[in-house]
Amino acid sequence: MKLEQNDKQLLFSETTIPDIFFAEHLSEIPGDYLKIYLYLIFLSKYHKDVKLNDLSKKLNIPLKTINDGTKFLEEHGLLTKKTTGYIIVDLQEATLHNLYTPNLSLSKEKVQQTAKNKSKSKAIDHINNMYFQGIMGPSWYNDIDLWFSKYGFDEQVMIALFDYCYKRSALHRNYVQKVAEAWASNKVKTWNDLDVYYQQQESLNKIKKTIAKKLGKYNGLTQYEEAYIENWVTNFGYDMNVIELALKRTVFKQNPTFEYINRIITDWHERGLKTPDQVNAFLEQRKKQEKDLKALKTSVKKTNYEQRKYDNLDFLYANSNINTDNKEA
């Protein structure tokens, strides 16, 4: 990357970072990637080639992390890759361009002017003052307005969204977007909807902990195992009473897996079994069928044995007649 020489000596030189970086990007950048970005800004003032391998040695960061970091900075609009290296993106210019792109983004004033009612503007101001200390980045206004429109959240739900992410120290755009999508997929629009969703999540978490304890998974469940449980509870509508019946089916199986349990529960769901009584009735019926089938097989086996015995007697009798005829002859 070719860089221009700064006229000032290093001792008297300074590196400036626009405030928009702190408002819009800082919370999203992992520690090592932040070190890479800041050092690139510093180096961008000096006329020389900068190699990623040199960055790795200078910053004491593995070369793979350097490569991953530069890719991350590219994807988040902080670096632009050229054939000869990288260019530091002018964040002020980029933000200004995004804010005033027609029909794609809106300024704070525009959001407040086009909000359907004053309570929406008050919610935006509350989010700004409560979670951004009054200096929320301009692009957040665009996102909030988009989420109001896209997901149909009311003002209380929008505030709750930021409160949820803030309390988890994850107040960055990608995480907030992910939570918003999760709420929307569960048909959350009003505060009452959110309250019901919270209760469902609390119940789901209790079921997960109970299953983990019963199966001896004291280190917790994997992401895939949790996905199975969420499907049983959310999509199949089963509670712990039904799920426990499936867990009991693993007692006599060596090293049962979640796939095995899932096959049992999925079979019940496909058969339309919804309650413990229905499941127990089905199991009893199948047990009786298996018993009847076993008895039938035993009966058939016995009949076949008797038939073979009878056939053998006929054969011996036939041989006896042959022998008698031979003697008479």
Domain check: are 296 and 325 in the same one? yes
pTM above 0.95, yes or no: no
280 domain-assigned: no
pLDDT of residue 108: 57
279 domain-assigned: no
How far is Cα 205 from Cα 201, in angstroms, rounded to an integer?
6
How far is Cα 146 from Cα 124, in angstroms, rounded to an integer?
12
Domain check: are 181 and 199 in the same one? no
Task: Quote the number of domains for the chain.
Answer: 4
- In angstroms, the first-to-last Cα distance of the chain is 118
CA 179 to chain centre: 10
Domain check: are 244 and 307 in the same one? no
Domain check: are 16 and 40 in the same one? yes
Domain check: are 179 and 230 in the same one? no
* Backbone torsions φ then ψ of 242, nearest 5 degrees: -80, -45
How far is the CA of 64 from the CAs of 2, 74, 121, in angstroms?
Answer: 22, 15, 45
| β-strand partners of 229 | none
3 domain-assigned: no
Structure tokens at 65: 């992390």
299 domain-assigned: yes
Domain that holds residue 77: 10-95
Domain end (from 187, 207, 241): 187
Domain check: are 82 and 40 in the same one? yes
Q: Is the dihedral of CA 180, 92, 137, 22 positive or negative?
A: positive
Domain check: are 181 and 211 in the same one? no
Question: pLDDT per position in the chain (329 positions), as tens?
Answer: 444 444 556 666 677 787 777 777 777 888 888 888 888 888 777 666 677 887 888 888 999 998 898 888 888 888 887 777 777 877 777 766 665 554 444 555 555 555 456 778 889 989 999 998 888 888 898 889 889 989 999 999 999 999 999 999 888 888 999 999 999 999 999 999 999 999 999 999 999 999 999 888 888 899 899 999 999 998 899 999 999 999 998 887 777 789 999 999 999 999 999 999 999 999 999 888 888 777 777 777 766 656 665 555 555 555 555 454 444 44
Domain check: are 183 and 218 in the same one? no
How far is the CA of 101 from the CAs of 93, 94, 110, 173, 221, in angstroms?
Answer: 12, 11, 13, 20, 46
Domain end (from 187, 218, 238): 187
Give the domain CATH number at 59.
1.10.10.10
Domain check: are 82 and 116 in the same one? no
Domain check: are 166 and 237 in the same one? no
1 domain-assigned: no
pLDDT of residue 7: 52
143 domain-assigned: yes
169 domain-assigned: yes
pLDDT in tens, 98-151: 655 544 445 555 555 554 567 788 899 899 999 988 888 888 988 898 899 899
Domain check: are 200 and 177 in the same one? no
* Residue 226 half-sphere exposure toward CB, CA atoms < 13 A: 10
pLDDT of residue 96: 64
Domain end (from 40, 66, 95): 95
199 domain-assigned: yes
